Amino acid sequence: MKPITVYKGKAAVLDRANVDTDQIIPKQFLKRIERTGFGEFLFYDWRFDEDGNEREDFELNQPQNKNAGILIAGENFGCGSSREHAPWSLQDYGFDIVIAPSFADIFQNNCLKNGMLPITLTKDKVSYLMNNAGNDQLTIDLREQTVIDNKGLSTSFDIHPYWKEMLLNGWDEISITLQYSPQIDEFEKSERPISTI
Greatest Cα pair distance in the chain: 69
Each residue's pLDDT tens digit, 3-33: 999 999 999 999 999 999 999 999 999 887 7
Residue 173 lies in a domain: no
Calculate Rg over the CA atoms of the chain.
19
Residue 197 pLDDT: 61
Query: What is the DSSP-derived secondary structure letter of residue 79?
Result: B
With H, G, I as helix, E, B as strand and everything else as coil, classify residue 72.
Answer: strand
Q: What is the DSSP string of 20-55?
A: BHHHHS-GGGTT--SSSS-GGGTTHHHHB-TTSPBP
106 in Cβ contact with 83 (< 8 Å): no
Predicted TM-score (pTM) of the model is: 0.88
Residue 179 lies in a domain: no
Round to whole Å and give the CA distance between 154 and 28.
41
Residue 26 lies in a domain: yes
Residue 42 lies in a domain: yes
Domain that holds residue 106: 8-136
CATH of the domain at 59: 3.20.19.10
Round to whole Å and give the CA distance between 175 and 139.
27
Residue 40 lies in a domain: yes
Residue 165 lies in a domain: no
Each residue's pLDDT tens digit, 91-132: 999 999 999 999 999 999 999 999 999 999 999 999 999 998
Round to whole Å and give the CA distance between 39 and 41.
5
Each residue's pLDDT tens digit, 39-98: 999 999 999 999 999 999 999 999 888 889 999 999 999 999 888 999 999 999 999 999
Residue 114 lies in a domain: yes
Looking at the structure of the chain, the number of domains it has is 1
